[in-house]
Structures are given as C-alpha cells and as structure tokens.
Amino acid sequence: MNNKRNSFTNRKGALLLSNAFFQKFMFIFFVILILLISWLIWHRPQHLLVISDMNTGEILWESDIKQGETFFHEYIHSVEKSPVKEVFQYSSTGEVMTMESWTKSFGAGMPYQREGDVEMKDGYYVMKNLNRPVHGGALRMKPSSLYPHTFSFRDQTIYLSKEPFVTKIIEINVIDLPWWEGFIRSFKLK
C-alpha cells in the first residue's frame, strides 16, 4: 500500500513540476514573441520612395526611405539643351524638399532668382541649401527618350528615359505605409 502511495505522490509531484515548467516556458515564449513583434514593427520601413504612373497609379519602382535621405535626377533641359541636376531630401517633417539645383546656364524654365548659397563648381551654377518644399508634395514629369534622364537613390541609378518610364507622366513621391504593410514588408526585405 505504501508503494502505491509513493507512486501516486511521485506522479503528482512530476505532474506539478512539468506544469510549472510549461508555464515558465509559455511565459518566456510570449515575452520573446512580443519583443520580436515590437522589434519588427519598430524597424520596418515606414516610408516608401516611389515612382508611379500618374495616370494609372501603377508603381514602376519603389524603395524604402528614411527621413534625411536624399535622391536626385539629372536631365538635359529641353529648351536650353544643357544638363540639370536637382537634389531632393525627404525631410524630418515628412516633406520632399528641394535642396540643390545644378545648371550650366540660366534661361527659359531655369532658375532666375538667387536662392540659398550659390557657387560655381565644375562649370555648374550650384544653388545649395534651398530647403524649399516641392510644390504639391511630389515631383511630376514626362521623361523623353530624346535625351538621357536619370534618377538616383543610394547606390542605384534608373534611366527614366527608357521603359517603363519613358513617355508616361510619372510622379516621384514618398508614401507612408500602414503599420501592417510595413510589418509584412519587413519579412520580404530580408
């Protein structure tokens, strides 16, 4: 009888011990899960730099962007037939700002006022520190195949004068992602 009692007590103790282990395991599992989800939400791309077809809304190119990062485009001006480079920044206020304008001449459709800091560099008139919000919040243009037109961000250069961008009215803009889409993208970007 005593053996039966000890056997029952041992099984009950083992059951209590395994239940305590399971509770500790579940607690640690949920803490790690919450920390992981919080980290993914915190580190997800929150903003996308996109080039889209203005008529259809189709996104032709995209990349995550952080506040303070810059991008630029270079083209040959259709009237002046001279190169132009415009530098933009996604500001800490969430606006796309014109920061610099590089031109080799002044004329129709070119800068006509002295703004920011002006200097000559490599044959260009460079206007820096413009800090001017882009009108309407987005850049809109219709690239042509007649002259090279490029868009550069980080270490990537895209030819806007080629398909799928050429002859379309395109919009370059920064869009905010809903938290759930950013969460999903955090898995896709790795």
Residue 182: inside a domain, yes or no? no
Q: Are 37 and 127 members of one domain?
A: no
Same domain, yes or no, for 83 and 157? yes
17 and 65 fall within a common domain: no
- Give the span between the Cα atoms of 53 and 5, in whole angstroms: 79
Q: What is the pLDDT of residue 109?
A: 47
Residue 84 lies in a domain: yes
Same-domain status, 83 and 138: yes
Cα-based distances in Å from 148 to 104, 109, 111: 16, 18, 21
Q: How many CB atoms lie within 10 A of CB 170?
A: 25
The answer to whether residue 83 sits within a structural domain is yes
Q: What's the pLDDT score for residue 20? A: 67
Q: Are residues 1 and 59 in the same domain?
A: no
Do 103 and 147 have their domain in common?
Answer: yes
* Parent domain of 14: 1-43
Q: Same structural domain for residues 95 and 169? A: yes
Q: In what order do the strands lie in the sheet with 170-176?
A: 59-64, 47-53, 170-176, 139-141
> How far is Cα 89 from Cα 99, in angstroms, rounded to an integer?
7
Residue 75 and residue 61 share a domain: yes
Confidence at 29, pLDDT banded by 50, 70, 90? confident
Q: Is the pTM of this model over 0.85?
A: no
pLDDT band at 72 (very low <50, low <70, confident <90, very high): very high
| Same-domain check for residues 13 and 76 | no
Residue 71's pLDDT band (cuts 50, 70, 90): very high
* Domain count across the chain: 2
Say whether pLDDT at 38 is over 70.
Answer: yes
